[in-house]
Amino acid sequence: MAQIRGIITPIVTPMREDESIFEEELRNQVRRQIQAGIHGIFPLGTNGEAYILSEKEKEEVLDIVIDEVRGRVPVYAGTGCISTKETIRQSQRAKKQGADILSVITPFFAAASQEELYEHYKAVAAAVKMPIVLYNIPARTGNALAPATVARLSKIENIVGVKDSSGNFDTMLQYIEQTREVEGFHVLSGNDSLILWNLLAGGSGGIAGCANVYPRNMASIYNLYKSGDLDGARKAQDAIRSFRNCFRFGNPNTIVKAAVELLGYPVGKCRAPFNRIPEEGILALKKVLEENTCRGLN
C-alpha cells in the first residue's frame, strides 16, 4: 500500500487559451514537483479544477499524470461526486487507470446528515477496494465531516485517512485525537498554514496548494520536521505567509494558478468564470513573488 505521508501537491491543470488541457505543460509540472522532492501528486483536486472538468477531461488528466509519475510517488485521484453511484463509478475508473489512492470529497450542493455521509463513504469503500482518503472542505461543499463520523469511518479497512480543509484547527485536532489508536489512519492538513502544527499534533503532513508555487519549500516542512530540525521546519512554514496573504484578492486556487503562470510556466488561467483577479491583486502577487525569489524561495 502506498505510504500516506509528507507533502502532496494538488497539481494545477494547465490549459491553453481555448481552455483545452495542455498535456505537455502538465507533464512538465509533474516533473517539476517530483524533482523538488514532493511526496505525492494529487490530480483532480480543488487546485486541479476538478469541479469544472468534464468526465473525459478528468480521465485524460489522470492518465497523463500516472504516465508521467511512473510510480516515483503515489498518485492521489480525486473522484468524489454528488451521488454515491457516480462516486463509485469514477472511483472504479481511477483504480483501473492505475491511481494509488482515492481522495473522495463529501457530496455537495444538497445538505447531508452525518449518517448519510457515513453510508456514502461506507458504500464507496465496499465497492472500490483501494485506499481512500476522506476530504472535508465544508466552505466549498456545504457538508462537514464531524470528528465522530471520521472516527467511525476510520474503522473501515480501506478508509485510510482524511484531509481537512475546514481551516478550523480544532476540527483537525479532533480528527487526530479520535483516530490516534487506529493503525494506518492518517490526518492530512488541507490548510497550508497548519501543516507543521498538524505534524506536531500527530498528523501525517498536508495536501498543499502552495506546493504548486513553492514545491521545494513545502516539501522541506515535512523533511525538516522528520529530521528533527524544528526551527528549520518553522521557518519553511512561515515563509509562505506573504504569498497566502494574496488569497484575499480572489479564489485561492485562482491565485495559485496565476502565481505559477507568473513564475514563467504556461499553465494558463483557471477556467471561466473563476479566473478574475483585480489589478491590485496581480500587482501584489508580482511583488510577493519577486521578494520571495530574491529570498531563494522555490
**Percent residues over pLDDT 90 in the chain:** 99
Cβ atoms of residues 171 and 149 within 8 Å = no
**Is residue 233 pLDDT above 70, yes or no?**
yes
Q: Kindly report, residue by residue over 43-67, the tens digit of the pLDDT.
A: 999 999 999 999 999 999 999 999 9
DSSP 150: H
Q: 3-state DSSP call for residue 77?
A: strand
Does residue 59 sit in helix, strand or coil? helix
Active site residue 265: no
Catalytic option among 76, 118, 121, 135: 135
Distance (Å, rounded) from C-alpha 78 to C-alpha 101?
9
pLDDT tens track for 150-169:
999 999 999 999 999 999 99
Catalytic: which of 58, 76, 121, 163? 163
Is 163 an annotated catalytic residue?
yes
**How many CA atoms does the CB half-sphere of 139 hold within 13 Å?**
10
Mean local confidence (pLDDT), 12-19: 97
pLDDT in tens, 115-134: 999 999 999 999 999 999 99
Q: Give me the mean pLDDT over the 211-215 stretch.
A: 98
Q: CA–CA separation, 286 vs 266, rounded Å?
A: 16
Residue type, 142: G
Tell me how far the alpha carbon of residue 22 is from its chain's centroid: 20
pLDDT at 1: 61
pLDDT of 264 higher than 70: yes
SS3 content of the chain, % helix, strand, coil (to 5): 50, 10, 35
Query: Measured between alpha carbons, how far is 228 from 224 in angstroms, rounded to an integer?
Result: 6
What letter does residue 19 receive in the DSSP assignment?
S
Residue 2 above 80 pLDDT?
Answer: no
Cell, residue 24:
505537455
CA separation for the pair 44, 297 (Å, rounded): 26
Report helix, strand or coil for 69: helix
Is the pLDDT at 245 greater than 70? The verdict is yes
Q: How high is the mean pLDDT of the chain?
A: 97
